[in-house]
Structure 1
Amino acid sequence: MDSFVPSEVEGRFSNSVPAPVDFARNERAEEDALALYIHWPFCVSKCPYCDFNSHVRTSVDQALWQEALLADLAYEARMEPDRKVGSIFFGGGTPSLMPPETVARLIEAAERHWGFAPDIEITLEANPSSVEAARFADLAAAGVNRVSLGLQSLDDDALRFLGRAHGVTEGLAALETAQGEFRRVSFDLIYALPEQSEAQWQAQLARALSFGTGHLSLYQLTIEPGTRFAALAAKGALPVTDPDHAAALYELTQAMTDAAGLPAYEISNHARPGEESRHNLAYWRYQNYLGIGPGAHGRRGGCATQRHRKPENWLSALQRNGHGVVDEVPIDSDSAAVEALLMGLRLREGIESDRIEWLGNAPFDTLVDTRVVGRLIDQGLMDRQQGRLRVTAAGMLLLDAILAEIVR
């Protein structure tokens, strides 16, 4: 790696970078390649259900943003210098609005700083507009080999309700283009919309499964605080789906995706074996990852990192400090164990008891209420075999309640 701030980020973002802090390291996570997250915060418009760190701006200085992201990347390279990168994820916002040249330079810089693990996964989130789909060939040439497409629905009325700018025809054309340009493709759908029937969702999901895509992210609509949908719901202007109906739709989803060979490997994510998102698995398996760009989180060197959320504040921090970090907090053993448990139990594979003990530096039964776990196993909601604890398919419907019960 470069032992200094490279020439491409000299200038307004060339402040010197402090030496790495010597935190206790997660030895098991160190055996795995790093995951790198790059946040592009801008969108054409804000969807009414979205609580992500996304912002609408009339114009974006693309040269400035390229320089700034490269500077933030260089800082993380100084802080975590000695491991290969196994995955890169461009998230947002709408990263498909990034110039392909910026994507290419960030990928090149990451390879120069760290080196890449064999068969690296490089994902970019994209909106299915025709303008953005026209960039897919250039993004593939830049090094992106996996795209995550925000279709969100295969129903035009639903897309209008969700505030999406594309229609079904445009979305499916973008999917066809993506499947021609990228080795791996995923797309998102949102279900359990107000008044959506089982028959409607069954027909839509069957159509989605017919496209042969290797990965689907299938999310139930949730009303998140601070969104336009939350304001409408508070006034009684937005009906909320009945929980029993939502549970029936979830069970239908599991049955159909299992039958199609795309089982859920995480509560909302489905893939053919071998096509799981390696980047997101790094989060859920509690491995180290680096986050750059506005609002990005990271976990490295026994420390949780967070960037400034507002784009302008992030840029100002870079001008002052040479990085966009607003907070770096050491992770104590109790927090590490609990976080690893909460995230790992979202996965079908579950968690290894001895790893939770290792992270928490304490016996498993002091971290987890094993009496409650035993009861949940008897009820068929959890399973424990060969040192691995997992939530069963039936238990996933009650995951939030299960997690609240078992964590001491």
Structure 2
Amino acid sequence: MTDDRSQLALYVHWPFCVVKCPYCDFNSHVRESVDEVAWRQALLDELRYEAALTPDHHLTSIFFGGGTPSLMDPRTVEAVISDARTLWAQAEDVEITLEANPNSAEAARFADLASAGVNRLSLGLQRFDDASLRFLGRAHDAAEGQDALDAAQRAVERVSFDLIVALPGDTVDSVSSLLDRAIAKGTEHLSIYQLTIEPGTRFETDVRKGSFVPLDEETSADIFEMTQAKTTAAGLPAYEISNHARRGAESRHNLTYWRYRDYIGIGPGAHGRRTGMRTFRHKKPENFLSAVQRNGHGMREEESLSATEAAHEALVMGLRLNEGIDPDALASRLGVERVVDEAAVDRLIAQGLLEREEPRLRLTDEGRLLLDSILAEIAA
């Protein structure tokens, strides 16, 4: 067992997509062609740069995100995994996740990606009906989605998929039926997100022009509460606000973020946090690639985190988890006197929005609906 303080997660960002989804505000780009050899070398250079700064860390997980990392040549995936395993000591059961789109061409690569070392696939299914998929601008249809899920479950033991709910026209009953279908697929992990209209997306423009009206807040809240109850009853309780898993099947990589442990982010626009530093790579793929070729890394910004900043970030991340936080242990680890305002905590416990089971503090079901306002109130 490695010391928690030496654990390290690795995030690899592949920024390319076939199309840009209208709801997406991630750092993703459509390009006619990608020089796979140049990109493979850039990612390997980034690994070496970061490994030199974290020689005493143990690798616990690798996550290929995007963009659409299932567009990567499996040889690139294999090279990154192989070098990462060489550069860092590692846990015996390193979790290696790759996000994948359900397009037929990409699903055909799942077996090769598993041979490259991927042992967990996360599919962007989003919905099971063609009308919703067209609204969301997805490049696959419902039949392709089912075929991709079948292929993923044949390729690896651990499979998760995403759903987007609270679309215009959704009701509690319609989403309940959607969840019944999702649970029946037999996966160990589900990520269920409510549609949000993010700044700078095509959906923001559409809403501003009156092309559609987002679902009202009351119905969205009712859908959220039903989702929590239904997944819990099915043995897939929420361990984080939007993530549900069977016991022991939680995403170890994402738990690293939410428990505020060190992680390295490489690739365009990737964020990282290691040894008290916050890191951020160049976002535009061409700028990132030229920076790596020039400097041996694609870093755009690197700054020290103050203890107060770290404590606030840890509070924001930790309260998303169903397990909550241990305020005293967190304060001790981060070198601050306290991470929460105890008077505010007591007030919110009395209101039924927080609960304390020593030594941990966590949100109640009602509190999860008001996370942002609660954080603003209790931050020390």
Scaled to the shorter chain, the TM-score interval is over 0.9
Deviations, residues 21-58 of structure 1 (Å, cap 9, x unaligned)? xxxxxx97524x21000000000000000000000001
Deviations, residues 99-134 of structure 1 (Å, cap 9, x unaligned)? 000000100000110132111100000000111110
CA contact (8 A) 1:29 1:288 kept: no
Once residues 90 and 128 of structure 2 are traced to their aligned partners in structure 1, the CA distance between those partners, rounded to angstroms, is 37
The equivalences for 1:8-407 within 5 A come to 29-31=4-6, 33-364=7-338, 367-407=339-379
**Scaled by the length of structure 1, what TM-score is found?**
0.91
- The letter for the 2-side match of 1:60 is V
Q: Which runs of 5+ in 2 are unaligned?
A: none
Once residues 257 and 83 of structure 1 are traced to their aligned partners in structure 2, the CA distance between those partners, rounded to angstroms, is 36
Deviations, residues 170-229 of structure 1 (Å, cap 9, x unaligned)? 101100110111110000000000111222111111000001100000000000000000
CA contact (8 A) 2:272 2:280 kept: yes
CA contact (8 A) 1:54 1:92 kept: yes
- The letter for the 1-side match of 2:372 is D
- The letter for the 1-side match of 2:366 is A
Say which is worse superposed, 239-248 or 369-378, in terms of deviation. 369-378
CA contact (8 A) 1:337 1:359 kept: no
Deviations, residues 63-102 of structure 1 (Å, cap 9, x unaligned)? 1111111111111111112222110000000000000000
Count of equivalent residues: 379
- Identity value in percent: 60
1:231 to partner: Cα distance? 0.9
Q: Which runs of 5+ in 1 are unaligned?
A: 1-26
CA contact (8 A) 2:311 2:336 kept: no
Once residues 290 and 61 of structure 1 are traced to their aligned partners in structure 2, the CA distance between those partners, rounded to angstroms, is 24
1:360 to partner: Cα distance? 4.7
1:236 to partner: Cα distance? 2.1
Number of the residue aligned with 1:23? none
- RMSD in angstroms over aligned alpha carbons? 1.2
1:363 to partner: Cα distance? 2.8
1:167 to partner: Cα distance? 0.7
1:356 to partner: Cα distance? 2.8
- The letter for the 2-side match of 1:266 is E
SS in 2 for 1:222: coil
